Structure 1
Amino acid sequence: MDKWLSHNNVAKVIALIVSIILWAMVHLDSGTPVAPTPVVNTKVIPNVKIQIVGFDSDNYVLSGLETDKVRLEVRGKRTDITTNFSDYKVKLDLSDVGPGTSSQPLIHELPPGVSLVSMSPSIVKVSIEAKQTKDIAVNIVTKGQPAQGMQLGSPIVAGSGVVQVTLPESELAELARVQGIIDISGITEPVKGKTVKLIAYDKHGQEMRNAVIVPSSVEVDIPITKLYKSVPLEVREVGQLPDGLVVASVESDVKGVAIYGSKEVLEGISSYSVAVDLSQFKGTNQTRYTVDLTPPEGSEKIEPSSVTVTVKVEPPDQRQISGIPITLKQDNSNLAANIVDPAEKKMSLTVVGAKEVIDKLKPEDIKITADLSGLGPGMHMVPVVVALPLHLGLAESDQSRQISVELVEKAEPTVTEPEEEQDSNSANDSDAANLPPENAGGSGNNVGGEQKQ
C-alpha cells in the first residue's frame, strides 16, 4: 500500500480529485444560480366571444350565426399563458360577405409566446339578409285621463308625421304600425312639444326589436280644453202682443250655445231654452230683445253669455185651407170606422196669422185628429183636435168642430171545417181507387198523392 501511494502518478490523480471536490464545494457555497429547464403547459379557454368585424350594418343584418362562442386550447410557457381571458380573441371577418347563408373561417389572436393547439369550432355558418326601408305614418296613443271637466283633442305630430322604418326584408311585411305613447293623466293645460319615443309593432302587437326608426322620436302637441257640449237654443214666447198684431217670425242671432261642466252634468242637457216677453213690444214691426243666459245648474259657464232675439210682427191675415186630412185614433181593432160627415173625409179651416206664414202653409202642415177611444158600434158625433204650426190660430167660427163617424163590427173570417175537408179528401181517394190504373193518378204512382193544379 505504501508502495502504491508512493507512486508519483497515483499521487497526481488523488490531488486532482481533491481539487475538484474543493472547487465544487466553494462554488456551491457561493449561491451561484443554475439555469432551470423551461416548462411548457397547455390550457383550455372556454366560451371565447366571437367578435364580428367588417360587417356593413347599414345595408345588411346578421340574421343567423351558428354560435357566438368558441373553445380554445393553447400551449406556451407558464409565464406566457395568462389568466386574463380578454387577451384571447376570436374574430369573424364579414367585410366581403354578402346576403345569403355561408360558412366562414374564424381568426384567432393570442398573447405573445402562446400558440394555438385547437379551436372549436374553427368555421361557423352565417346568414346575412339585406335591409329595406318603408315610410309609415306615426300613431300617437294617449294614456290616462285628463283632469275632470277637461276635453282632450287629437294629438298633433310635428312635421309630416311620417318616419322611415328599416328592417330585414323578411320582417318588413309584418310591420303594422309605429306608435308612441304619451301620458296625459290629470293634465289641465295643453301639452306643447312633448318628445315621444317611437316603437315599431308587428301585426300581432309584438315589438319589432330589429327595427331602425328614423327619426326615433317625434314632438307631439296635445290640445286640451274645458269639457263642453253644444246644444240647440230654443226660444219660448211669453206674454201677449197688443191686439191687432201677430208674430210673423222669431229669430235669434245664434242657433246653439256651448255649456261647460262635468261629464255627468252635460249628459243631462239636450237643449237650452230662453224666454222672450212679447208684452215688451215697443211699437215697431221689428223688435230686438237682448236675453242674458244663465249657466244651467251644476255647469261652470255658458257661451255666449247673451243672445239677441228679433221678433217681427204685423197685422193678422186669414185664409181658408181646404183638403186637410182627418186622422182617426181608435183602440178597438174589432170595429171598423167610417167618416160619414164630412163625406169627403177632409175638412176646411180658416187660419189666422201673419201673411208670410200663411202663404207658406200647406194642408198637410195641419193635423186634425178625432179620438174614438171607448166608443162602441153605432153613429157618433166626435170632436176634433186641430194642431197648427207655430204663430198660427183658428178663426173664431172654427174653434169647435165635430165629425160624424159610424163604427161597425168587422165580419168574422170564414173558417173551413176540418171534418168536411177530410170527408172530401176521402171521397176523392175512393173515386181515384175505382179508376183504371192509368187514370188513378197523374203519373200512375201512389193514389191520393199530391195533385198538381
Structure 2
Amino acid sequence: MMDRLLNNNVALRIIALVLACILWLAVHAEQGGSQQASTGVTESFELPVRVETSADEVLVSQVPTVTARVTTSLLRLPTLATDMTKAEIVANAQDLGAGTYTLHVAAINMPASVRSYTLSPATITVTLEPKVTVERPIRLSVVGAPSQGYVLGKPQIGAGVVEISGAASSVQSVAEVAGVVDASGLSQTETKLVDLLPLDGAGKAVPGVTVTPSAIAVTLPVTSASQTVKLTPAVTGLPAAGYAIASVRLEPTSAVEQGLPAGQLPQGGLRVPIDVTGLAKSTTVSVPVPLLPGMTSVSPAAVTAVIDVEPSAVYTLQNVPVTITGATGVRLLGPRTVTVTVAGAQSAVQAVEKDASAVQAYVDASGMSRGTASLPIQVHLPAGLSAVSISARTATVQAMP
C-alpha cells in the first residue's frame, strides 16, 4: 500500500502542498507575534499637573490635568497601572509673579518599562496671585450638654486668633475661623482637639486657604451642678433715730445652689439683702436668698436674719496714730496723729472706749517710689461703728531716696 502511494505522483504532489502550507503558516505566525511584541501596546492615563510656584505666589486657577498616552511591551502591561502611580506631570511657574500664564508640561518619574509617551495637551493655562497672611478671630461653638447633675463652665482656649494664608482674594473673604466642640455626656473636665474652618461673612467655608494652627486644644471645665455657697448679710437702710445696728447674722450661713460652677461664685459669698429701715428694737425676719444670673435654684430659698438693735452712742478718740501701708521706704511728714469721732451701737462704742487700738488711721502709699505726696487718711473701725469725723483728711508722705 505504501509502495503504491509513494509511486503515485499525484499523491506525492498533494502531500508536498500540504506540508508547504503548514510551513508557511508557522513562519508567518511567528513573524506576526514578534512584530506585536516589538510594536508594544498603548494605554492612556489622566494625571493632575503639579504647578511649582514661588513661596510668595499661590495658584488660584483650577488644578489642570493632562492625558498621558504611554507605550510599553505586552509583557509589562499587567504592571503598568501600578508603575504609573509614581509618574508626575509638572509645570514650572516659579518667579513669574501674579498673572495668567501658558506653561509647558513635562513628565517625571516615568516607569522604566515605558518605551514612549505623549502628553495632551502639551501646555496649560494657570493664574497666580500674591500669597498673603493675616490674623482672624476664632469663634468657638459648643454643642451638647454635660451629664445630668453637671454644669459646663466657660471653654478655655490658648489663643483667640489664628493665621490665615493663601491667595489675597481668598484670604480677604475670610471673616472668621470657626470651631465646634462637643460637650455631650461630660462628667469631668476634658481637653479636646478642635479642627478650625475658615468661613466667609455668610458662614460658608472658604476654599484655598491655610489655617495655622489647623486645630486647637479646648478645655471644657465641668463641675457638679450643686455648689455650697457662703451667705453674707448685706444691710440696707437706716434704723430709727437714736438707734444703731449692733450685729446681723444669718441662720443658716450657707446654701446649696445649682447652675453656676464653683469658679463663677462670688469670692465673698452670696450677699443677702436685709432692710433695717426704721428698726428700734432687735428682731428676727425671714429674707429670701437671691439668685444670681446663671443660677437655676438655691436651697434654702429663704433664711432667718437675726438683727440686734441697740441705742446709738458717740465717742471721740484723741491722738490716734497715723501709719503707712502699701509701701516701704516712705516716711510720714504729718500729721502723725488725728482725732476720730465714731458712732454706732452702744456695745461697740463701749468696746472702743476700753480698747482704743481697735480704731486705726492709715494712708495707703502703694505705688509711690519718689517725691512727696498728700494722701487721704483712712480709718479702720470694728463692725457696727462708723467714723463721724476726723481732724485731718490727708497726710503728707515722702519717698526716701
Q: Choose between structure 1 and 2 for higher RCO, CA contacts under 8 A separated by at least 6 residues.
A: 2
Relative to its length, the structure with more strand (as a share) is 2
Q: TM-score, normalised by structure 1?
A: 0.44
Q: TM-score, normalised by structure 2?
A: 0.49
